[in-house]
Amino acid sequence: MKSEKRSRLAALPPQGSELPRTFYPNPIAEWSIWTLLFGIGGFVAGMMASFSVYDGFMSSSFTWVIFIILAIMGTIALIAAYFTGRSAMTVRVEANGISYARGRDDLQWVTVAWGEILLLTEKSRTYRGTVRHWIELEFRDNRKKLKLPQDIEGYATLRDMLFRVFTPAK
């Protein structure tokens, strides 16, 4: 998966350090979640098969139970991959504002001028020793806060660029 990620990142247009600059989501996020969930289903099915073989209860009808478990986990994994792909965020930082779009295909860009942003903060949460960071944008017109996750490729550069360009209006 690492080589696939590297090849997909190499296929993206080159980015400079000046504005406008586009930050893309993790190119293999969908397949990472699919592999994880299908692997969990495969582990469960494998454990069931090994226990039934050990106890002498393995039969052709029980084999279908294992195939059904794998089919259910495959379906759950595909649904999770679909929703992960839909929530992927692409961000473009421009001189007059920030644009963002969700998903992978046919991006519907939403552009926000710097003056419409009330507050820009970096937040984090720790769960079992793993720290997740995100940038939260709060808007003047009380619409929902926008969270830019650390899954965006070049998150550190995006964070530094946003804090350098954005100056809150008084």
pLDDT reading at 159 higher than 80:
yes
CA dihedral 42, 45, 51, 56 (to 10 degrees): -130
74-125 residue pLDDT tens: 999 999 999 998 888 888 888 888 888 988 878 888 888 888 888 888 899 9
Q: Whole-angstrom Cα distance, residue 54 to residue 50? A: 6
Asked if residue 15 has pLDDT above 80, the reply is no
Q: Distance of alpha carbon 105 from its chain centroid, rounded?
A: 15
What is the chain's mean pLDDT, rounded?
84
Does residue 145 have a pLDDT over 90?
no
